[in-house]
Chains A and B, each alone.
Chain A
Amino acid sequence: MSPAPPQEDADRATRAVLDQLRTLTQRGLVVDSPPGAGKSSLVVRAAADLARTGEPCVVIAQTNSQVDDLVRRLAQHHPDLRIGRLTAREHIVPADLPALPGVDVSDCVQDFTDARVIVGTAMKWTTVTDSPWPWAIIDEAYQMRSDTLLRLAARVFDRALFVGDPGQLDPFSVVETHRWEGLTHNPMNSAVAVLLDKNHDLPVHSLPVSWRLPPSAVSVISDAFYPLNDFQAGSPPEARTLTFPALGMRSHLDAVVEHAARTGWALLELPARFTHRLDTEAFHAALGLAERLMIRRATATCEDHPQGKELEPGDLAIGTAHRDQAHHIRALLAHHHPRLKGVTVDTANRLQGREFAITLVLHPLSGRSDASAFHLEAGRLCVLTSRHRHACIVVARAGIPELLDAHPSDDPIHLGAASKIPDGWEANHTVLAHLAQHTIRA
């Protein structure tokens, strides 16, 4: 059976969520969303729906930029709704927010006397001591730690809609202990993991269409990171194209970007070598690729720009595993690549939830002599390889499959703890097997 057309499929899923929300007999509902599947749009629609039924609706996101983004979307799609932006006292909201129609900004929830939707970060909401609101929507719920949910659920809301991407990075703690391993209410687990463990009857929906990922990326991302829920691409292959009006120099960098433009993927393989975390050669390769994309005036067509749009530095991102790597690349960029000013360079953690035309990824295992749990984490690779609308180019030292085979995961298994799906080791292999067909050696 061939799947229904994407739009129809997605509409049906959204409608099912909203319908069930109105008649829900349980106290919560979970919506799993693959990368770029319209999670924020769903949050905005559900918030407006719930707000119109009477009591104000609480929206909880994890970071200030996520909150600001949601407020903008709410104001844009529902200018008639009064929206409260709850903020920490020391936080300065972007200047455009207070100017939006119907948006109030305050650090005190009592100030929002007539707001229908109140949006704030989870951390801010934990400080609110008012009587609970009937409904809350929790965005990026897989990135929230279960102890935060414990504090929110006790005070802020009665029932909740949890929306999130199960494939991204798990929340973490600076504390290393196995003390709570295997308990269903392990405070270091994600909020959704604990919620579903304690409440088996909660309905779980999943969004079936990724509007961001191109068709070339959907099957590999779905296989590697979302083995339990399938999804399809929202756009047909012919809608996403990447072309280069300017001629290339036939260098290997040109070969890489041309291959990526044709297939949506490329792996630039540098000679095998154990390197320090700051592998300058790999950094220069990534920056060189970005430079080629700019010099050759990469032009992309998609549903939003059917006539084609020449990419700007802001459409590119370079993703790393560690902060010092990102910092070093930014320094190199500022020194040697003035043309690339505006390219986003950041770690997987900070790229979560963001979208770019083309991403350049430094493989977390590149140049390493061992594969630690940090570098094997499936969520890290998933974030890095699912931010793009057109193509993803990976830069890595040769020898990663051998490295993986030499380091099967040997983390202790704790009784009662759910095994991780997907397994990081296996997900890494799946992605590498796919990239093997797109490898170009330097």
Chain B
Amino acid sequence: MSLLASLLRMRAATTGNAVPTSQLRHLHLSDRPLMMLPLEQTGPAARPLAVMLGTDPRHPQLLVAPPSGSTAPMLGALAATVTAYIDEHQQRSEQIPAGTNRPARRRYTDAPQILVPNPKTVAYLDRLGRDLRFRPADTDIPAQHGVPRLGQWLTHFADRAEIPGSCALVPLTGFLTMHWITGQSPLEDEDLALLLAWIDPPRDAASGRDAALAAEHPDTHRPAGPATDARFDTEQLAPLFEQYARTTAQPRALQDLERLLAHYLQPTWDLMWQAYTLLHALPEADSTARRWNKERSVFTDFSTYLIQDGRPQAARDQAVSAAVGLARREEATAAFDAERAMDDPFARAELRTAGRAFAGTVTTVDADRCVRPKARRQWRPMLTVSTTDPVSMEPGQLLACHAHRNARYKICDIAPGSATTQVQLEITAGMGPESRPNYNVLPDPGDLLTFTAAPDHYRLPEFPPRNQTPWTHGGPPAEHPDHEGEER
């Protein structure tokens, strides 16, 4: 947690009301997201109990697995709903012209977005996907054909959820805490009911804290899953499970179970849409569109993979795929951090408290300065910025500035004074070609600018193909990664 975030958390704890932080939404929010609220049965690994899902807040679909016996019909129905939702996004595509390292291709104009209540649900969907994607697809019942494919999609979404800035599968608690800070602990923030009580308390509540205290009352509080409350298990689920085991009229017992679970899930379902409404009201940050394009490309690529290859994702990453995965994550982290710093004044304020940015007034601009390190003259304007921030950077550090995204500034000198520090900067990039210099990059004296440490120039490194894994990493792995899985 940054110094600023800690300070705001203390303020929220003192006043009893959540503090809004970033006023820009950094993740794309679909107009028609698929809300998914799964519960798992206590005990068996990854066995579902129920899923409430849908794109319409008023008409959720509830799928309930029987307490014992096969979950295949329920999973088949889940697969049908999720696949139908994904299919909707594969109807229209657009032509993307060739880029520097990719040929021309088509891309779907929309992509699916699944919203779940909390990070634990993301982890649950990952486990469920891992379970389902290796199931044999040769069942005789056509309704269940989609189950292994559902496993592949869930794995895909759970993998995307690990990438910073991705919006394919988003836990709503994490999404909300990007925009509000509450006076409770980060662990309590993972409870959607408590978090929303702080952020958007009911009208009759005196404060967010009062609303949260009311919301956690054991008689009315429902954990948002995927695990159910122990008291609910013993007092309400267990009798119905027993009834189901004893009775011959199982469909009726199942109906009772459905009624109970619908009643149990409905409040959380409503909270999820409340969170959606709050987030939808926030204006989108500039770079969100770029990340959404990326998300649609990834969705298109995976759809193509399923058609052309279609083998389940490997149970474990091999040496090369793990290294590529790490490089992709590092790239996404760096890009997301850099874009947020450019887009969002709150992100910049946070960086200032962490010593990775400073803000100040431009005092002098030497617009005509040129240097001649090699044969050719180079235009290198110079400016001085006067700041009251502590500058914990060193000369030579490259900086970026929100006013001109492509410009880069090099710290030439730092002169600490008694109250202010004078920082001398040289503009090293963003001035345009020599023939048509871009004078817009020059600030005017008196401008107030924030400079952040420039992100490292990052290019996704090249890795050897999997069949050329070197001896240091055990040589090429055996083929058919799906057959060496640990689970089946």
Contacts and interface: CB of A to CB of B under 8 A. Distances in A.
Contact of A184 (B323, B416, B471, B474): B474
Interface stretch (B26-34, B101-109, B246-254, B329-337): B329-337
A328 B391 CA distance: 10
Contact of A198 (B464, B468, B473): B473
Interface residues of B, number: 29
B326 interface: yes
- Which of B392, B464, B473 has the most A CB atoms < 10 Å from its CB? B473
B471 A183 contact: no
B317 A174 contact: no
Interface stretch (A35-43, A142-150, A242-250): A142-150
Interface stretch (A56-64, A104-112, A185-193, A428-436): A185-193
B316 interface: yes
A185 B474 contact: yes
B185 to A, nearest CB: 14
B333 A183 contact: no
Contacts of A151: 323, 461-464
A27 B470 CA distance: 11
Contact of B468 (A147, A154, A184): A154
A323 interface: yes
Nearest to A326: B392
Contacts of B416: 331
Interface string B36-49: 00000000000000
B472 interface: yes
Nearest to A180: B322
A339 B463 CA distance: 51
B172 interface: no
A150 B392 contact: no
B323 A198 contact: no
Interface in B421-471: 461-464, 468-471
A389 B66 CA distance: 71
B74 to A, nearest CB: 29
Contacts of B327: 147
B319 interface: yes
Contacts of A146: 323, 473
B399 interface: no
Given A187-B323, A194-B472, A177 B461 contact: no
Contacts of A126: 461
B162 A198 contact: no
Contacts of B322: 147, 179-180, 183, 185-187
Interface string A300-338: 000000000000000000000001100110010000000
A150 B471 contact: no
B326 A149 contact: no
A23 interface: no
Interface in B322-369: 322-323, 325-327, 329-330, 333-334, 355
A372 to B, nearest CB: 12
A180 B162 CA distance: 13
Interface residues on A, range: 20 to 34
A195 interface: yes
Contact of B320 (A150, A179, A188): A150
Contacts of B462: 151
A173 B470 contact: no
B319 A153 contact: no
A177 B472 contact: no
A331 B462 CA distance: 41
A155 interface: yes
Contacts of A179: 162, 317, 322, 325
Contact of B470 (A153, A174, A187, A188): A153
A328 B416 CA distance: 12
B81 interface: no
A146 B470 CA distance: 12
A177 B319 CA distance: 16
A150 B473 contact: yes
Interface string A148-187: 0111011100001000000000000111010110011111
A199 B470 CA distance: 12
B318 interface: yes
A150 B333 contact: no
A422 interface: no
Of A151, A177, A324, A328, most B-chain CB atoms within 10 Å: A151
Nearest to B394: A327
B355 A154 contact: no
A150 B319 contact: yes
Contacts of B392: 323-324, 327-328
A20 B269 CA distance: 68
Nearest to A149: B472
A199 B471 contact: yes
A215 interface: no
B317 A175 contact: no
Interface string A387-420: 0000000000000000000000000000000000
A184 B392 CA distance: 39
A174 B330 contact: yes
A126 B322 CA distance: 17
Given A174-B334, A324-B355, A153 B474 contact: no
A28 interface: yes
Contacts of B471: 27-28, 153, 199
A175 B326 contact: yes
A195 B319 CA distance: 12
A179 B326 CA distance: 10
B334 to A, nearest CB: 7
Interface in A111-159: 126, 146-147, 149-151, 153-155
A147 B323 contact: yes
Contacts of A149: 472-473
Contacts of B463: 147, 150-151, 154
Given A155-B464, A183-B317, 6 more contacts: A154-B464, A175-B326, A185-B318, A185-B322, A187-B323, A323-B392
The 10 residue pairs across chains A and B that have the minimum distance between CB atoms: A153-B470, A154-B464, A147-B323, A185-B319, A198-B474, A153-B472, A327-B392, A175-B329, A187-B326, A187-B323
11 contacts: A27-B471, A28-B471, A147-B323, A150-B473, A174-B334, A177-B162, A185-B318, A194-B473, A198-B472, A198-B473, A331-B416
